[in-house]
Amino acid sequence: MDQLSGMDASFLHLETPETPMHVGSLMAFELPEGYQGDYYEEVKTMLGKRLHLASVLCRKLAQMPFELAEPVWIEDDDIDLDYHVRSVTLRRPGTMAQLEQLIARLHSTLLDRSRPLWEMYVIEGLENGQVAFYSKAHHSGVDGKAGVELAKVLYDVSPQMREVPPPRRKRSGAVSYQLGVTELLQAAVANSAQQYRKLADLLPTAAKALTAAATVLASQRTAGGERSLNLGLAPRTIFNESITNQRSYTTLSLPLADIKELGKRVGGTVNTIVMAVCSVALDRFLRERDLLPKEPLIAVVPVSLRAEGDSAMNNQVSMVRVDLATDIKELPARFKAIHASSEAAKAVVRELKPVLGVNVPITGSPWLMTGLASLLGRSNFAGRAPAAGNVLISNVPGPSMPLYMAGARMVHYHPVSIPYHGSALNITVQSYAGLLEFGLTACRRVLSQDESYELVEHLRAALREIEALPPVERASGSATAA
């Protein structure tokens, strides 16, 4: 029995029918040449042999009495693979557009909380002969980085499927789903006491972290006339609205080596390139509709708090805000401002890392947060309240080597993520085997499927603009000469 942290449980409490809180992946596989088998059955058999390797696949929720504390994870000894692993065939001709529309629909439905919180789909009928694989798992049990760790468990690094040790035999006295009220409350009290002890032990470290962060903030003060690194509230845009459960979804793949080389050439990182590409694309998309605000757009960016080597299947993440500088017309100056804002935000997080992920137990938080989530959607408060950011942009490092599943080679690994009230568009980027894979997940009422394709074309055009920038050495030399 493992009690959820406040952060993990918040993804459960903030979930409504309009805002499913699961993350997913869309993968494309090339079958071995001359393959004649039943790939769905092979995948299901392989998953059945490996479920015990990933706790997220073998556990389900048990709620606390009266929702006085966070729920707990308990082991599920009766997993119905035919329910969790499903087969879908696209209608002819089986285009990528058809696949993306299918993923948008599959991603819009809630997971069954009486079962382990995951589903997987083997999707056949693609015109290029590939087989797609879509998986989704609730964010309460897995964040982006832990999802990559899960992938390492489920997939192979060669066409030859590795043998894994079978699960150990269960002993009598295993925990039942119907836990007693006394047992649950005792677990909640013990967990809260443990967390408060950790908070007390952390106080000296917290004081040092806050002092260091204050020093970093002081060093980031800009001279008069320069662009401030301290961001105010975000302007209102079409993305800052309450959303429905309908989704649009599109993908984009770029060569990672070219992006890395481009970043070095123009004076940034891969993350800066991603932010700049999104900035230019969103600028153009909104400007064409006469909807671009005068104030700069602000991106809300998740940052991992996970320590090196930590593969726990939970959420260890915080958020920073990055200036997309859409009020700067000249691309070199905009690129520089985006890079400075991103690096400044990461510098503060590095100092605050010891305290940002601290779990603070709050009695009654489940029903309180659930009520607030329902009110947020029904009142359209998100469409009227001040906004912290305009768009969610996430960049997750993924596997660098090709992966295989049931003997088939994975050729693409696109993320599928979560829009929410006030953040109707989520752009998540993940690296995989030499590619930078984009997944644009949005509320269809805010960004339709056709508009999502249009935004992807703007992303391509934005990259070409950044590629045309002069190298930083040349730019510096020109400025010196002038």
- What are the residue numbers of the active site? 139
Give the up-direction half-sphere exposure of residue 18: CA atoms within 13 A in the CB hemisphere: 19
Q: In terms of residues, how long is the chain?
A: 482
How many Cβ atoms are within 10 Å of 50's Cβ, its own excluded?
A: 17
Q: DSSP letter string over 61-129?
A: EEPPGGG-S--EEEE-S---HHHHEEEEEPPTT--HHHHHHHHHHHTTSPP-TTS-SEEEEEEE--TTS
User: How far is residue 365's CA from residue 373's CA, in Å, rounded to a whole number?
Assistant: 12
Is the dihedral angle over the CA atoms 304, 428, 402, 258 positive or is it negative? Answer: negative
Nearest to 322 by CA among 427, 406, 206: 427
User: How far is residue 29's CA from residue 135's CA, in Å, rounded to a whole number?
Assistant: 14
Q: What are phi and psi of 210, to 5 degrees?
A: -65, -40
- DSSP annotation of 56: G
Residue where the block lists tokens 């047992």: 183
Q: Counting beta carbons within 10 angstroms of the beta carbon of residue 242, is it exposed (0 to 12), middle (13 to 18) or buried (19 or more)? A: buried
Token representation of residue 458: 């703007």
Q: What are phi and psi of 147, to 5 degrees?
A: -65, -35
